[in-house]
Amino acid sequence: MILDTFTYRYSKIMLLISVFLCFLGSCFAKDILSINSGFVDTTSISKKEFGINEVEVNSKHRLANITSGSSGIHIDINQLTQLPKFAGESDPYKALQYMGGVSQAGEANSGLYVRGGSNDQNLVLLNGTLIQNPTHVMGLFSVFNPDLIGQMRFFKSDIPAEYGGRLSSIIEISSRNIVPESSKVDGSIGLISSRLSVQTPLSSKFAIYGSFRGSYIGSVILPSLSALGVNELLTENKYDFWDANSGFSYQISNRTKLNAHLYTGIDALKIGSFSDNNLNRNTTSWGNRAAGTQLNHIFNESWSMNHQLNYSRFKIESTFQWYSSYQMLQSQFENINYKADFFHMVDNHQIKFGTEIAYNKAFPNQVNSDSLSPLEISNQINQIHSVQGVLYLRDEWSCKNWQFNVGLRSNLYAHVGPYNDYNKEGDFIYTDNKLIKTFPITLEPRFYSRYLINQVSSVKLAATRHYQYLHQIPVVPFGVPVDIQIPASLYVQPQSSWHFSGGYFRNFLNNEWELSVEGYYKTLENQLEFKNGIEATFTNQMVDKSVLVGKGWSYGSEWKLGKSIGPFTGWISYNLAWSFRQFDQINSGLPFLARNDRRHDLSIVGMFKINERWSCSAIFVYATGNRMNLPVGWFVIDNKVIMEYGKYNAFEMPAYHRLDLAANYKLKNWRGIKSELNFSIYNAYNRANPYQVYLTTNSYKSGSYQIDMSYLLPILPSVSWTFHF
């Protein structure tokens, strides 16, 4: 193999530059100016706090809708706590589906589909650490404990140069990394799940925290609903989860702070309608592990830095029925990442630059099957190892009514050994750390501008380029994460995208009401599909050789009207969108609608504070059904079933809609304990939203097929008690 000498040398240069940047940051420490003791937030060097005890301020500026820019959308945690609390939990991540530009995922679907992109095109970070699958119970809960969330930001168009690796959006969640003056205990006890969080200072500068959550939907709630006569199709499945967080915060000095965190969680699902009364053979379990440290340091009023070292792992294991036999599929992705960010403010410019180095290890698929399978199962396991280096620079400045954010991100990516290239002519074995393939250096320009028309209206424009070196291909067309993780490698190219957007934003009626209208157009290159679906996954030794490569594009408009001030608040969000894909080997090479195409998507959110003790809220969502590919007919020739298909993804699932209701009652303080009761109803009118439409048969050779649907979630009432002391 002929290696690209230039890119190989560039990888060494990037490593040397990374070390130099760290050394440069240390040198600036010699010229430290006096800093106020409360100045510990290095996310923006333009922020200043004075010598008072650290406090949390969570309020929304009335003009944030007009003036906000490349810092993304700061999610108002306090406002979202007023939304219907399923099982007593305020879930900011779940609330993103109602914010505009994000399609409703649907039943049993944990994904966020941002502006026509797929679920894997969202970068989800917990304190800087990658979270591959960020939800529990197919999207009912997120993996983020609400008692620990301090800040949340969401980027969907104007993604600055310091973020990369995904095409559609960035969701960044930070814990409350402060040292409290005294111990704090938060928790909730409910019918569906319970949680407990503890934060304890061990000194005036050092604090630790820990939390645990667990559910009992499958063991308590669904059997109870079944006993009450709720439709058995909606109560025959079993699913539960648990997760745990721990960490510490250490204020080393007035200018330096060290944080660390650890997360682990597991989901388990048993699908009754697939099991022929044998639930143990139709299960899916998945989970994340994440750990990281962050070191923040303030040099002076103009310079600061942030270092991160993170590890994450996502693993899924699925067992289900196929051709009257049972199959087991495993997939896993691991990531080790180091990132150094440096902040500098000079005159009217806020400059940020840094480097990032990552090592990835993926097991795309490991397959086992019983002896009844009619398929020839490949038991050879192949791993994909890769390394990546990044350099970035961006500058943000204002000029009268204009604000600009211009940046550039550079990527170098390589596939390294060990790796087995299975071929008919003979296998080729790459040893450990062998450089197998280096990809051309990619450049990602980022441009954002905002123009203030007047005090209550503005126009925003953005154009950005993105590269993504990880593919996540669904194996089966329903929402649980039975997906294959395939990084860019010897036979797989990275994804890429251009994203153009613009919008008009206006406040009116004394800034109590907000209106926004946005339009976008996005291109998607190097999109992957399995032509033969799950069969190709099981029978191929190398799934990275059995994929089809195509392209896509999406466009649409987003409308949002909201009220953010007063006893009654809420918003109406409506998306009108199109999402297409095109593969030469699919649908005769003609474009077709993507699986996650939803023409209409509507969210109506209302929150009302009745008095100091009572408040209530409601959410109604409606979305056009997902697209899917089903045969239009079938016939038998020589005892073989032949499926006849029409246009690809020509079928549309039934529309998804749901109403959630909630009421909160604040109890009187008792011995220093603040608490409230939450009454919530998920799916209030018991809508049977199908999460899968599929063909069923008693024998795959009989030719006796029928279309059937599976359902998961019935009406789910819940009462919970939330407490803080």
Task: Answer with the residue of higher pLDDT: 313 or 644.
Answer: 313
Percent of the chain residues past pLDDT 90, beyond the cut = 42
Helix (H, G, I), strand (E, B) or coil at 384: strand
Task: Answer with the residue of higher pLDDT: 273 or 208.
Answer: 208
Question: What's the number of CA atoms in the CB half-sphere (13 Å) around residue 687?
Answer: 19
Encode pLDDT of 95-128 as tens digits.
Answer: 788 877 787 666 655 568 899 888 889 999 999 9
Q: What separation in angstroms does the CA of 604 have from each of 396, 569, 601, 618, 662?
A: 35, 11, 10, 8, 14
Encode pLDDT of 508-539 as tens digits.
Answer: 988 889 999 999 999 999 999 876 555 555 55
Q: What are the tokens at 242? A: 């648990």
Helix (H, G, I), strand (E, B) or coil at 157: coil
**Going by C-beta distance under 8 Å and a sequence separation of 6 or more, which residues neighbour residue 107?**
138, 479, 656, 689, 690, 691, 711, 712, 713
Rg (CA), the chain: 26
Confidence of residue 344 (pLDDT cuts 50, 70, 90): very high
Nearest to 90 by CA among 617, 507, 593: 617
Q: What separation in angstroms does the CA of 453 have from each of 396, 425, 564?
A: 19, 67, 22
Q: Quote the CA–CA distance of 407 and 393 in Å, as a whole number.
A: 6
What integer best gives the mean pLDDT of the chain?
80
**Going by C-beta distance under 8 Å and a sequence separation of 6 or more, which residues neighbour residue 105?**
97, 111, 112, 113, 119, 139, 479
Structural domain boundaries, residue 179: 5-724
Q: Answer whether residue 700 shows pLDDT above 60.
A: no
Q: Is 691 left (phi over 0), alpha (psi -120 to 50) or beta?
A: alpha
Q: What mean pLDDT comes out for the span 28-54?
A: 36
Q: What mean pLDDT comes out for the span 382-400?
A: 94
CATH number of the domain bearing residue 244: 2.40.170.20
Confidence of residue 48 (pLDDT cuts 50, 70, 90): very low
Encode pLDDT of 635-674 as tens digits.
Answer: 777 666 677 777 888 888 888 899 999 999 999 998 889 9
Q: What mean pLDDT comes out for the span 24-33?
A: 39
Q: Quote the CA–CA distance of 458 and 452 in Å, as a whole number.
A: 4
Which range has the worst mean pLDDT, 2-6, 61-65, 571-575?
2-6
Q: Answer whether residue 491 shows pLDDT above 60.
A: yes
Q: What's residue 5's pLDDT?
A: 45
Encode pLDDT of 424-471 as tens digits.
Answer: 777 788 999 899 999 999 999 999 999 999 989 999 999 999 999 999
Q: What's residue 136's pLDDT?
A: 81
Q: What's residue 571's pLDDT?
A: 92
Q: Answer whether residue 59 shows pLDDT above 50.
A: no
Task: Answer with the residue of higher pLDDT: 34 or 201.
Answer: 201
Q: What mean pLDDT comes out for the span 254-269?
A: 92
Q: Quote the CA–CA distance of 669 and 487 in Å, as a whole number.
A: 53
Task: Answer with the residue of higher pLDDT: 266 or 281.
Answer: 266
Q: Answer whether residue 147 shows pLDDT above 70.
A: yes
Q: What mean pLDDT comes out for the span 346-350?
A: 92
Give me the count of residues in the chain: 725
Percent of the chain residues past pLDDT 70, beyond the cut = 75
Encode pLDDT of 460-482 as tens digits.
Answer: 999 999 999 999 887 655 445 56
Task: Answer with the residue of higher pLDDT: 702 or 608.
Answer: 608
Task: Answer with the residue of higher pLDDT: 207 or 190.
Answer: 207
Task: Answer with the residue of higher pLDDT: 72 or 481.
Answer: 72
Q: Quote the CA–CA distance of 269 and 278 in Å, as a whole number.
A: 13
Backbone φ and ψ for 320, nearest 5 degrees, come out as: -155, 170
Q: Quote the CA–CA distance of 298 and 264 in Å, as a whole number.
A: 31
Q: Answer whether residue 15 shows pLDDT above 80.
A: no
Q: Quote the CA–CA distance of 467 and 408 in Å, as a whole number.
A: 12
Q: What's residue 158's pLDDT?
A: 85
Which range has the worst mean pLDDT, 147-156, 633-642, 714-723?
633-642
Q: Quote the CA–CA distance of 672 and 450 in Å, as a whole number.
A: 47
Q: What are the tokens at 391? A: 């350099």
Helix (H, G, I), strand (E, B) or coil at 415: strand
- Contact yes or no for 660/86 (Cβ under 8 A): yes
Encode pLDDT of 204-237 as tens digits.
Answer: 999 999 999 988 777 766 677 667 666 555 556 6
Q: What mean pLDDT comes out for the span 195-201?
A: 93
Based on the structure, what is the number of domains in the chain? Answer: 1
Task: Answer with the residue of higher pLDDT: 31 or 605.
Answer: 605
Q: What's residue 43's pLDDT?
A: 41
Q: Answer whether residue 36 shows pLDDT above 60.
A: no
Q: What's residue 236's pLDDT?
A: 60
Q: What's residue 99's pLDDT?
A: 79
